[in-house]
Amino acid sequence: MADNFTQVLSMQDNSTVPTPEVPESLEITRYVVQKLLVPLISTIGLLGNGLNILVLRHKHMKGISTNFYLFILCVADVTYLILTLCLSFIHCRNTYQPITAFYFIVYARPITDLAGNVAVWITVAFTIERYIGVSSPIKGKVWCTVRKAKIISFITILFCIINTFPEFFETKIVSLQNGGHRCEPTIFSGYSSYQIGYYWWFVSIFTFIPFSFLFVFNALLIRTLLEASKNRKQLLHWESKKASVKNRREQHKMTLMLVTIVIIFLLCQLPWTVLLLYRTYLSERGLPQPMNDIRVAGNICNLLVQLNASVNFYLYSFFSRKFRRTLRRILCFIKPKQEHGTMV
């Protein structure tokens, strides 16, 4: 494993040991990504997720289990965006910044990873739930409830906290003779058993396993959508009750929205995963690592993850008519009518 293991796990290009010279390509990338694009995307994402929370916690949206999962996802995305926005301006490379900034970096990094990990497994949770609801409506009525969504979300968050907790002990703050400070890896993080064991455990439970679940269940949901499209005309021909037809359309839109969320999630997360595996491959074989290229790519991969945390509001607005109506009522103070059914 690489000596700076914390940098492999961290979603930020925020080196623990300052480098005396920064290549021009990395400096330009850091400026464009961290100083220009990250603030823009984070601001848009925070605004959108704030509106998401308002809508999803509205009394007419609370009774749906999928909406509760989406609410938890929004909270995780807001946490991630706030911390990554702050970390884009605060770096361990600046040895003369206040010591409180160093403490913020030390604790904000693992919390950022925690928020990202929660988002990963919450996405898995509502994908599996949606598959159950679509493939077996009878079982869906039993399992796809708000109460069970709350229990599963609590277990998911607790699971992520326990498995991310060791990251809080990976970095320490060292005082310099000139009055400045810097971040350094702790002795604990330097143990080879910890680097190898925890690393592979971390990568397995937050990358390989959840991504495998998402690929499989998303493929099944896509197949369900294709079958529903083929049978739509037949269903409309034989169905006599308009309410039943409308409900099928709503369920179809809900499934399509969740499939789209998962596809965008995978597209934005996979580059970081590929970069992580590439660096692992080089490290384990003792091959030289092009650190400048890796850090440039890391900035771009981090930007994609931030983009993913910012787009869900626009997906909800595009797919969900009920979401749009609820948002309009909240912003315009319109008295809502009695509504039932899904988010769509």
Percent of the chain with pLDDT over 90: 33
pLDDT (0 to 100) of residue 68: 94
Collect all residues with Cβ–Cβ distance below 8 Å to 224 and sequence separation of at least 6.
Answer: 131, 134, 135, 255
Collect all residues with Cβ–Cβ distance below 8 Å to 156 and sequence separation of at least 6.
Answer: 118, 121, 122, 125
Are the beta carbons of 72 and 130 closer than 8 angstroms?
Answer: no
- For residue 29 the two structure tokens come to 């990338």
Least confident segment among 17-26, 164-173, 227-236, 266-275: 227-236
Cα 270 to Cα 120: distance, rounded to the nearest angstrom: 12
pLDDT (0 to 100) of residue 83: 93
Residue 155 has pLDDT above 90, yes or no: yes
| pLDDT mean over 216-223 | 89
SS3 183: strand
Cα 315 to Cα 323: distance, rounded to the nearest angstrom: 10
pLDDT (0 to 100) of residue 6: 36
Environment class of 244 (CB within 10 Å of its CB; exposed 0-12, middle 13-18, buried 19+): exposed
DSSP per-residue string spanning 201-225: HHHIIIIIHHHHHHHHHHHHHHHHH
pLDDT grade for 195, boundaries at 50, 70 and 90: confident
Cα 108 to Cα 86: distance, rounded to the nearest angstrom: 9
pLDDT (0 to 100) of residue 1: 32
Express each pLDDT in 60-101 by its tens digit. 788 889 999 999 999 999 999 999 999 888 888 788 888 888
Enumerate the domain spans of the chain: 5-332
Express each pLDDT in 266-317 by its tens digit. 899 889 888 888 887 787 777 788 888 888 898 899 899 999 999 988 888 8
Residue 2 has pLDDT above 60, yes or no: no
Q: What is the pTM of this model?
A: 0.83
Q: Radius of gyration of the chain from Cα atoms?
A: 22
| pLDDT mean over 209-233 | 81
Domain 5-332: give its CATH architecture: Up-down Bundle (1.20)
Backbone φ and ψ for 96, nearest 5 degrees, come out as -105, 10
- For residue 188 the two structure tokens come to 């604990």
Helix and strand tally (H, E) in the chain?
14, 2
Are the beta carbons of 33 and 117 closer than 8 angstroms?
Answer: no
E strand or H helix at 179: none
Environment class of 141 (CB within 10 Å of its CB; exposed 0-12, middle 13-18, buried 19+): exposed
- For residue 254 the two structure tokens come to 């809900």
